[in-house]
């Protein structure tokens, strides 16, 4: 018989990278644009960060998109981020 604890060990950190990516994006967008943004407002899927915020705030993010993508690449090198929407 196999030990169930050893089997479940590989599922221990399944959502950790996604959560870290959401935290990094929220922090960088907040610093660059001056918008208060929580990690629950950020979805990260298929290397695209989607923000659930008002359109007026999204226009500020669109203007500074290249700076945000560069800072994300520098601060979290393991994360692949292609776009912020």
CA–CA distances in Å: residue 11 to residues 15, 16, 37, 69, 77: 9, 10, 29, 30, 23
Higher local confidence (pLDDT), 27 or 4? 27
The tens digit of pLDDT for each residue in 25-55 reads 999 999 998 888 888 999 988 889 999 999 8
pLDDT at 14 over 70: no
pLDDT reported for residue 51: 93
pLDDT at 8 over 80: no
Average pLDDT along the chain: 86
Higher local confidence (pLDDT), 27 or 78? 27
């Amino acid at each position: 018989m196999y030990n169930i604890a050893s089997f479940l060990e590989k599922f221990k950190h399944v959502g950790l990278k996604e959560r870290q990516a959401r935290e990094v994006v929220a922090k960088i967008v907040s610093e660059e644009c001056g918008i208060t943004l929580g990690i629950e407002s950020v979805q990260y899927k298929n290397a695209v960060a989607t923000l659930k915020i008002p359109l007026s705030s999204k226009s500020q993010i669109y203007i500074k998109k290249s700076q945000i993508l560069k800072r994300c690449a520098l601060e979290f090198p393991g994360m692949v981020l292609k776009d912020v929407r």
